[in-house]
């Protein structure tokens, strides 16, 4: 009981913790309305931080916050050396960026349905450098900006609107665009050099509008800003058709929107570009080497009998040619 009383007393005022803040299991840490607790060291908590006051992260070196899955009512980030998560955390009311970024590492940062996020820009955002996601709980029809970037120098926010079933949606910004979504070689031209992973807590029911954002510096060689779109990797290939491309909006940063997104399987990977991420059309053409029509339902055998149809190279050894013996001429099949 004495431990709880001391924490409550300290929280009535605007106080500073210039070392570490460690909240033990079973303790009560209450930040009163209008109060601010300033921490310049690391934060470790095994309990929810209560009250309606603000936890201000104002270190001069990298601060680690490990909430162990517990929640904080209001957080303000004012650290140019950034804040790193050391465990899953939930913010219930507000997240304010003044200086610096939040690096997720392998941990999710959950935002409650009513949590307001403000102050973010291309110098202040959430870094999704590993498997950690920025998650918006109970996202519905009001557009929400996920202020994310893959590292400390790339900022590619994604705006998501849920026009389907309300759900908890998570977003990560990934480095580059891989041929197979999450695997394979990275594309080196004609795409924005970033991709986004979008997840849902309950599979099915989504009807999303996605708006991707990028700068001119994110565009790889050959990128056509006048004819681009958002493509989804469906597990077999990229699904965008030519009719889904359009001109990007804005004068830098640029944006493009895709509506009616319902499938988030296979990692929910989305990318912006044109030719490399267009859907693949597979064809199997055949060339029939025959002469003119000779009547009786047959083609003339004159080319074969005259020895004008080659039965050896170059046809039988060409790339993507397969030789099928039909008993007539070379019998080449492409």
> Would you list the DSSP string of 54-120?
EEEE--SS-EEEE-TT-EEEEEEEE-TT-EEESS-EEEEEEEEEEES-EE-TT--EEE-TT-EEES-
80 - beta bridge partners? Answer: none
Residue 111 to residue 104: CA distance in whole angstroms? 13
Structure tokens at 318: 């060409």
- The DSSP secondary-structure symbol of 48 reads -
**pLDDT, tens only, 24-68:** 999 999 999 999 999 999 999 999 999 999 999 999 999 999 999
**pLDDT, tens only, 102-149:** 999 999 999 999 999 999 999 999 999 999 999 999 999 999 999 999
Widest CA span of the chain, in angstroms? Answer: 107
Residue 62 to residue 80: CA distance in whole angstroms? 8
**pLDDT, tens only, 153-199:** 999 999 999 999 999 999 999 999 999 999 999 999 999 999 999 99
Kindly report the average pLDDT of the chain as a whole number: 88
Residue 23 to residue 26: CA distance in whole angstroms? 9
pLDDT of 331: 47
């Amino acid at each position: 009981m004495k431990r709880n009383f001391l924490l409550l007393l300290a929280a009535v005022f605007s106080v500073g913790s210039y070392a570490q803040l460690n909240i033990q299991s079973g303790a009560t840490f209450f930040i009163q309305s209008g109060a601010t607790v300033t921490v310049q060291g690391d934060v470790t908590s095994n309990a929810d931080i209560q009250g309606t006051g603000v936890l201000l992260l104002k270190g001069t070196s990298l601060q680690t916050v490990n909430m162990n899955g517990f929640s904080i009512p209001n957080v303000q980030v004012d650290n140019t050396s950034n804040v790193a998560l050391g465990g899953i955390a939930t913010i219930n009311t507000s997240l304010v960026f003044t200086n610096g970024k939040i690096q997720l590492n392998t941990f999710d940062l959950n935002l409650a349905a009513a949590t307001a996020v403000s102050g973010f820009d291309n110098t202040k955002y959430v870094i999704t450098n590993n498997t950690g996601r920025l998650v918006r709980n109970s996202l519905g029809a009001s557009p929400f900006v996920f202020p994310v970037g893959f590292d400390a120098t790339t900022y590619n926010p994604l705006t998501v609107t849920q026009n389907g079933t309300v759900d908890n949606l998570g977003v990560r910004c990934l480095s580059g665009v891989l041929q197979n979504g999450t695997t394979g070689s990275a594309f080196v031209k004609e795409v924005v050099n970033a991709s986004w992973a979008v997840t849902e807590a309950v599979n099915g029911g989504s009807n999303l509008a996605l708006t991707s954002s990028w700068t001119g510096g994110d565009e790889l060689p050959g990128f056509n800003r006048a004819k681009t779109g958002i493509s989804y990797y469906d597990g077999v290939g990229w699904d965008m058709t030519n009719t889904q491309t359009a001109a990007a909006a804005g004068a830098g940063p640029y944006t493009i929107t895709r509506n009616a997104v319902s499938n988030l399987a296979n990692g929910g990977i989305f990318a912006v570009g044109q030719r490399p991420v267009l859907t693949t059309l597979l064809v199997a053409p055949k060339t029939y080497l025959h002469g003119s029509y000779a009547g009786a339902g047959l083609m003339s055998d004159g080319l074969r009998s005259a020895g004008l149809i080659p039965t050896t190279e170059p046809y039988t050894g060409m790339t993507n040619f397969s030789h099928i013996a039909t008993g007539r001429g070379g019998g080449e099949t492409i």
